[in-house]
Amino acid sequence: MKIVLQKDVKGVGKKGDVKEVSDGYGRNFLLKNKLAILATEGALHVVRALKETREQREKREKEQSEAMIKKLAATPLKTTMKVGTEGSSFGSVSVAKILTLLKEKGIVLDKSQIVLDHTIKTLGVHEIPVRLDHGYEGHITLTIEKE
């Protein structure tokens, strides 16, 4: 029996896959629990259209991620921090501050995309890793100067 999966089914396949399964398994489990539909010509046409749309969306998202990585590399950030007489800082730069600096430059990222283990409390140039969708990784160059 040829079926089109409506949901991910462990051991069978992912949503949208066209699979050949035994008649009993298909009728008694997959179809009954609405995990799959029969692979009619109409259903196959819909699956092809959905797959095409998904591929186009993924391609567009990958292109946007690549462009964002290039834009981040070409956009250095600068900020200042108060420093005491002994060189100790009176503040830190957090993910929220980095997002604000990026927004001022016209770049919008989600806080989960910036990989910062701890706040930055030292002056100088820092490379901050960024992880975007589809495994694209880059960095932001942040320069912290004395106020």
CATH code assigned at 50: 3.40.5.10
53 with 113, same domain?
Answer: no
Q: What confidence tens digit (pLDDT) does each residue in 107-127 have? A: 999 999 999 989 998 889 999
Whole-number percent of the chain with pLDDT over 70? 100
pLDDT at 101: 95
**What tokens were used for 11?**
């051991």
Beta carbons within 8 Å of 120's beta carbon, 6+ residues apart: 92, 93, 126, 142, 144
30 with 94, same domain?
Answer: no
Question: Would the pLDDT of 7 be above 90?
Answer: yes
- Strand (E) positions, 15-133? 18-20, 36-38, 77-81, 124-131
pLDDT at 6: 93
Average pLDDT value for the chain: 92
Q: Tell me the residue range of the domain where 136 lies.
A: 66-146
* Coil/strand/helix, residue 2: strand
Determine the Cα–Cα distance for residues 94 and 92; give it in Å rounded to an integer: 6
Q: What is the mean pLDDT of residues 74-82?
A: 93
pLDDT at 90: 84
Question: Would the pLDDT of 38 be above 80?
Answer: yes
118 with 81, same domain?
Answer: yes
Confidence at 83, pLDDT banded by 50, 70, 90: confident
Report how many domains make up the chain. Answer: 2
Return the C-alpha torsion angle 112, 116, 121, 126, nearest 10.
Answer: -110
71 with 58, same domain?
Answer: no
146 strand-pairing partners: 81
